[in-house]
Amino acid sequence: MCAIMPPQGVKLTEDVEHRPGAGSGGHRARVRWLDPTTGKRRSKSDSFATPAEALAWIDRMRGYAAGGIDPAAANQTLATYGTANMRLVLRGLEAKTTDPYLAGWRKRVVPSLGHLAVRMITYGAVDRAVSAWIADGASRSTVKNSLAVLVRVMEQAVRDGIIERNPARITGWQDEYRRVEDELDDPRSLALQDWATLIRLADALVARSHQQFAGWGHVVTFAGATAARIGEVSGCRAHDIDTTTWTWNVRRQTTPSPGGLVDKATKGKRARLVPLIEEVRPMVAELVARSSLTDGRLFVGPRGGRISTAVLRDATHWDEVVEAIGLGYLRRHDLRHTGLTWMADAGVPVHILRKIAGHGSLSTTQRYLHPNHDAVLGAGELLTNYLRGSQGGPTLRAV
């Protein structure tokens, strides 16, 4: 059902109430009006820290009403506004087009941006959402359909006068898609050189963060050592860790949703075992010991909340730090590329590496292998030794 739009010039009554003891929301601003269709009184309110902010909000509500905009609709989240206006947004499209548009809206747009007010959505927010879809493995057509429905919803918001420009009309995402595809073809090129470089990165990020929060270093080190996604690191709980075998049962990941960050099953919905190397065991043991203070979570933010790749980026000033230490290409997901590349170079068999990574396709895992010249010669020597050791010629081994 479309949002109700009052006639232009609807009269508002306003008031600001001071509420002592309400902290940062000590001033409540409210506007009221009569719905010309039903004759019922409607209202909209919000809380602010200062009288000036409350009055500025009322001024905005006056502007919306003067332009024929429903004051209640003016502050709706994208999810609420889009759902209410979807029939109008998709008018004129054939069913074969609307179906993938609606799937993109439901599965990608709403989880990424649906919790934001329509007026708060910026070009940057859309850029980051599209980048996340691409990094998550969404196909080119999926990204195109998801962005197309977002463009149409925001265009309706422009026509309704809620926003002046359509922030979903971004350009260049196809270039980023090609860049990500190139990275997927050669993920080894994105790996950190060695363990010392990983520790140097972690220390630099901690030093740049507010109050030098050590937890950010733990997240980075653990992700690099386990080849895990940042969301999976955030989802790790104490009971997922076996300190007898030193393995991690990866069961869940933290992802954005309309209500904020939530936990859900891992990508592919398959649990997997990941080894914990000696270098991280003391850190993990310490985190497990104090996990009762963080609701069983091993990795949390400074205030005990869930983390995500965006939270890590912003809290550590990631882009500035990696540029300063000569790793300007590095993204958070490249910590996963790092761990898998190291394991491949250490000689972990490809079928085991695939299980550790949680890859659905063996060809994805094979991109981390590096059969250099010496390795090829070594393979030939192994075959020669096998043939020489077999009396009467080689025989097949039953498996």
Query: Residue 275 is inside which H or E element, if any?
Result: strand 272-275
Q: What is the pLDDT of residue 204?
A: 97
| Domain boundaries 190-357, CATH class | mainly alpha
- The CATH classification number of 78-185 equals 1.10.150.130
98-157 pLDDT per residue, tens: 999 999 999 999 998 999 889 889 998 898 888 888 777 778 889 999 999 999 999 999
Q: What is the pLDDT of residue 67?
A: 63
Vertex 168 angle, CA 163 and 171, to 5°: 135
Rounded Cα–Cα distance for residues 317 and 199 (Å):
17
Q: What is the pLDDT of residue 146?
A: 94
Of 357, 347, 367, residue with least CA distance to 275 = 357
Structure tokens at 14: 């306003």
Q: What is the pLDDT of residue 374?
A: 55
Structure tokens at 44: 């909209």
Structure tokens at 108: 């990608």
42-67 pLDDT per residue, tens: 888 888 888 888 888 888 777 777 66
Give me the DSSP letters along 108-174.
Answer: IIHHHHTTSBGGG--HHHHHHHHHHHHHTT--HHHHHHHHHHHHHHHHHHHHTTS-SS-TT----HH
Residue 359 is given by DSSP the state -
Alpha helices in the chain (DSSP H): 51-66, 71-74, 78-89, 95-104, 110-113, 123-135, 140-159, 173-185, 195-208, 215-226, 230-235, 281-289, 309-316, 318-324, 334-345, 350-357, 362-366, 373-388
Q: What is the pLDDT of residue 73?
A: 65
CB 274 within 8 Å of CB 228: yes
Of 254, 275, 272, residue with least CA distance to 263 = 254
Q: What is the pLDDT of residue 1?
A: 40
Model pTM score: 0.58
Rounded Cα–Cα distance for residues 208 and 206 (Å):
5
Using CA atoms, how far residue 159 sits from 5, 68, 164, 191, 304, in Å, is 12, 11, 9, 47, 42
Q: What is the pLDDT of residue 7?
A: 44
Residue 279 backbone dihedrals phi, psi, to 5 degrees: -60, -25
Domains of the chain: which residue ranges?
13-56, 78-185, 190-357
Q: What is the pLDDT of residue 70?
A: 62
3-state secondary structure of 41: strand
Q: What is the pLDDT of residue 93?
A: 87
- pLDDT below 50 — which residues of the chain? 1-7, 396, 399
303-335 pLDDT per residue, tens: 999 999 889 999 999 999 999 999 998 989 999
Tokens 């094979």 locate to 366
